[in-house]
Amino acid sequence: MRGKNYPAISLAEAVSVVKLIYEQERDRAVDEQTIAKALSCCGTHTAFVSTISALTKYGLLESVTPSLFKVSEDAENIIAQARGTSITRVS
């Protein structure tokens, strides 16, 4: 049985989910409802809330403020590596 702090989804599934978010929102800070829209689901379902929690536990999604999240730099690098490209950040 999983503990309450154990991510609800696998790392592979989390990477797939964060890729969907990244394709829609890139590195913008967005609220949960915007993430839900990017994932074509309802932001109030327990499964959605558990998915957001898993993404943050894996370090793929960062909490910018208590109500805003963004795809982490680590997630961007994973996505880019899977594509065979690299992320270029402009400061």
Mean pLDDT in each 10-residue stretch from start to end of the chain (91 residues)? 77 95 93 92 84 95 94 94 71 52
Output 74-77 pairs: Cβ under 8 A, ≥24 positions apart.
Answer: 75/15, 75/18, 75/22, 76/22, 76/27
pLDDT at 90: 52
Longest dimension (CA), the chain: 45
How far apart are alpha carbons 56 and 70 in whole angstroms? 10
Domains assigned to the chain:
11-78 (1.10.10.10)
